[in-house]
Amino acid sequence: MQWIPKEILGADMLPNPVKIIGGELPIPRKAPECGQHSDEILSELLGYDADRIAQLHEKGVLG
């Protein structure tokens, strides 16, 4: 059984339905929030500098 944290409703305990012989499955975790990694993607993958990212935030382009 694994405890699955939930920010709004508390936590649920869910059994893992899949068993792998000789290995363990990773502990489930929640999906990222919409826009959570936007700054990292823009800077690391697209090469945007901090000023350009700040301009996008100011214009409301990024959430």
Tell me: pLDDT of 1 over 60: no
Question: Which structural domain range is residue 11 located in?
Answer: 2-58
In angstroms, the CA 63 to CA 49 distance is 18
pLDDT score for 23: 74
Give domain status of residue 31, yes or no.
yes
pLDDT score for 43: 98
Give domain status of residue 49, yes or no.
yes
In angstroms, the CA 55 to CA 7 distance is 31
pLDDT score for 44: 98
Give domain status of residue 47, yes or no.
yes
Give the tens place of pLDDT for each residue, 18-52: 777 777 777 777 888 889 999 999 999 999 999 99
Model confidence band, residue 55 (pLDDT cutoffs 50, 70, 90): very high
Tell me: pLDDT of 63 over 60: yes
Give domain status of residue 10, yes or no.
yes
Q: How far is CA 27 from CA 14, 16, 19, 43, in A?
A: 11, 9, 13, 29
Counted domains in the chain: 1
Torsions phi, psi for 34 (to 5 deg): -60, 125
* Assigned token pair, 12: 């649920």
